[in-house]
């Protein structure tokens, strides 16, 4: 069966090579009874692949059931999957069939399988290897003929290494692995998907379909889409309902997209800080680095001025001699500053030559990000006369983040 007909039948939009390859594997494995492991981030459409495999298999006339393993409490998941006998636990007033019993002859799709408890993993492994299971509270072995399609948005092999997932179950599930690409890895499909969603919502809400201008298309393609196709569909619906203009510009599009930063600086985040606050704090770091660059350039300029105008040094030397006389010391004592962060080694600035000056002046500046951040916050508060909201806006962070920083650095307003 041609891929295009598969896409049309199941509503798959896109032509990226990674997507086409995943579809080819799904079509080829559908006719078998092999266990399939579908891997991919949340929102990429893993459940659609399970539907394709079941619909093209010999079990297509039998039931397909999708189970979200992460949504079922640990204490009841064995009962949900394998059933239970009356009185086997508190609340078990009747005997009940589990999914593996009711879907006999069909297909079961186990989504987020990495969330399964260890005990349930052992029972699932037995079903996969022998087709046998035992109801909770029973000693009777029962047989079932169910094809298992599993899916996970986590790296199961990494969970195996961490001891959170059984290694034997991992290799039993991944007989045929299918990796569904993230939306950011199929940029050529993003606009196609948006147009499809926009047309669907225009038909649903009886309005004209929204269009993107060229700059907005570039913004759409450059966005990282952490929520993948699900997030893109939500954005298309928001724009279709809320936008007054039917031709969307890049500026208007930005209002609907979540702010993000592609900066990858290794900044330490405090526990409990949201990803949005973390991104905002990185904006502060940009300001810090720009200020540090200005300070360095200013230092260079001062150094060149001293070299080009030696008379300035002579005046400074006269002032130093006068201060020596006032304090009655033969030598000047340097000021000792206790830093609050790791101390930067002082850089000696030596000025010599025919003018006879032999003294050394040590220029020391803390390059601590914490100190610079604190300094910026204090400046912003002074500038806006203690108004937190205006100061936070000027710093490019949320008011909540600013409040936390004030507490963290013990800054008095």
Would you say the pTM of this structure is higher than 0.75?
Answer: no
Check residue 87 and give its pLDDT: 85
Name the pLDDT band for 264 (thresholds 50, 70, 90).
very low
> Rounded to an integer, what distance in angstroms lies between the CA atom of residue 154 and that of residue 114?
7
Check residue 360 and give its pLDDT: 42
Check residue 352 and give its pLDDT: 45
Q: Region 36-45: what's the mean pLDDT?
A: 95
Residue with the bigger pLDDT between 382 and 328: it is 382
DSSP 154-213: S-HHHHHHTTSS-HHHHHHHTTEEEEPPPGGG-HHHHHHHHHHHHHHHHHHHTSPPPEE-
pLDDT greater than 70 at residue 4: yes
Task: Write down the mean pLDDT value for the chain.
Answer: 81
- For the domain made up of 3-181, the CATH class stated in words is alpha beta
CA distances from 21 to 13, 17, 18, 179 (A): 14, 6, 5, 9
Phi and psi angles of residue 145, each rounded to the nearest 5 degrees, phi first: -120, 85
Name the pLDDT band for 224 (thresholds 50, 70, 90).
very high
Residue with the bigger pLDDT between 335 and 38: it is 38
Over residues 330-389, the pLDDT tens digits come to 444 444 444 444 444 444 444 444 444 444 444 455 556 777 788 888 888 888 888 888
pLDDT greater than 90 at residue 109: yes
Check residue 157 and give its pLDDT: 93
Q: Region 14-18: what's the mean pLDDT?
A: 94
Q: Region 88-115: what's the mean pLDDT?
A: 92
Q: Which of 8-17, 25-34, 268-277 is predicted least confidently?
A: 268-277
The alpha-helical segments, DSSP class H, found in 2-86 are 3-10, 17-30, 46-55, 77-82
Bridge-based pairing state of the strands 360-363 and 347-350:
antiparallel
The rounded percent of the chain whose pLDDT value lies above 70 is 75
Over residues 127-173, the pLDDT tens digits come to 999 999 999 999 999 999 999 999 999 999 999 999 999 999 999 99
Residue with the bigger pLDDT between 284 and 170: it is 170
Check residue 311 and give its pLDDT: 61
Q: Region 253-277: what's the mean pLDDT?
A: 57
Name the pLDDT band for 309 (thresholds 50, 70, 90).
low
Q: Region 36-42: what's the mean pLDDT?
A: 96
- Dig out the tokens for 323 from the structure: 């201060």
Q: Which of 7-21, 73-87, 372-386 is predicted least confidently?
A: 372-386
Over residues 230-263, the pLDDT tens digits come to 999 999 999 999 988 889 999 999 999 987 644 4
| Residues with Cβ within 8 Å of residue 6, at least 6 apart in sequence | 12, 23, 27, 52
Residue with the bigger pLDDT between 262 and 1: it is 1
Q: Region 10-24: what's the mean pLDDT?
A: 94
pLDDT greater than 80 at residue 77: yes
> Rounded to an integer, what distance in angstroms lies between the CA atom of residue 266 and that of residue 123?
42
Check residue 283 and give its pLDDT: 57
CA 150 from centre of chain: 23
Check residue 318 and give its pLDDT: 57
Architecture per CATH, domain 184-254, reads as Orthogonal Bundle (1.10)
Name the pLDDT band for 93 (thresholds 50, 70, 90).
confident
Q: Region 209-235: what's the mean pLDDT?
A: 94
Q: Which fold has domain 263-332+361-413?
A: Arc Repressor Mutant, subunit A (1.10.10)
DSSP class of residue 350? Answer: E
What is the residue extent of each domain of the chain?
A: 3-181, 184-254, 263-332+361-413
Check residue 231 and give its pLDDT: 95
């Amino acid at each position: 069966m041609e891929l295009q007909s598969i896409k049309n039948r199941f509503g798959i939009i896109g032509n990226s090579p990674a997507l086409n390859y995943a579809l080819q594997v799904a079509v080829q494995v559908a006719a078998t009874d092999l266990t399939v492991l579908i891997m991919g981030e949340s929102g990429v459409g893993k459940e659609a692949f399970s539907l394709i495999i079941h619909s093209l298999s010999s079990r297509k006339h039998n039931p397909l059931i999708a189970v979200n393993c992460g949504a079922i409490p640990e204490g009841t998941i064995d009962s949900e999957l394998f059933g239970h006998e009356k009185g086997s636990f508190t609340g078990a007033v009747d005997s009940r069939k589990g999914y593996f019993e009711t879907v006999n002859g069909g297909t079961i799709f186990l989504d987020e399988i990495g969330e399964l408890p260890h005990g349930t993993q052992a029972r699932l492994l037995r079903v996969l290897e022998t087709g046998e299971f035992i109801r909770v509270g029973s000693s009777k072995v029962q047989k079932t003929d169910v094809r298992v399609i599993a899916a996970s948005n986590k790296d199961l092999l990494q969970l195996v290494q961490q001891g959170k997932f059984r290694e034997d179950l991992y290799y039993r599930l991944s007989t045929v692995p299918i990796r569904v690409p993230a939306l950011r890895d199929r940029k050529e499909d993003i606009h196609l998907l948006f147009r499809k969603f926009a047309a669907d919502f225009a038909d649903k809400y009886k309005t004209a379909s929204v269009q993107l201008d060229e700059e907005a298309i570039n913004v759409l393609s450059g966005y990282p889409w952490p929520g993948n196709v699900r997030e893109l569909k939500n954005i298309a619906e928001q724009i279709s309902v809320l936008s007054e203009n039917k031709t969307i510009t890049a500026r208007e599009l930005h209002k609907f997209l979540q702010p993000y930063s592609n900066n990858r600086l290794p900044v330490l985040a405090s526990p409990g800080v949201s990803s949005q606050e973390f991104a905002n704090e990185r904006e502060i770091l940009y300001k810090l680095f720009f200020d540090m660059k200005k300070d360095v350039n200013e230092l260079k300029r001062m150094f060149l001025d001293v070299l080009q105008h030696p008379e300035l040094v002579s005046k400074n030397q006269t002032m130093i001699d006068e201060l020596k006389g006032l304090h009655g010391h033969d030598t000047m004592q340097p000021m000792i500053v206790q830093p609050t962060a790791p101390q930067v080694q002082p850089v000696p600035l030596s000025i010599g030559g025919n003018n006879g000056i032999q003294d050394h002046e040590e220029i020391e500046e803390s390059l601590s990000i914490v100190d610079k951040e604190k300094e910026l916050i204090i400046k912003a508060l002074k500038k806006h006369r203690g108004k937190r909201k205006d100061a936070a806006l000027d710093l490019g962070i949320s008011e909540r983040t600013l409040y936390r920083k004030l507490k963290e650095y013990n800054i008095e307003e």
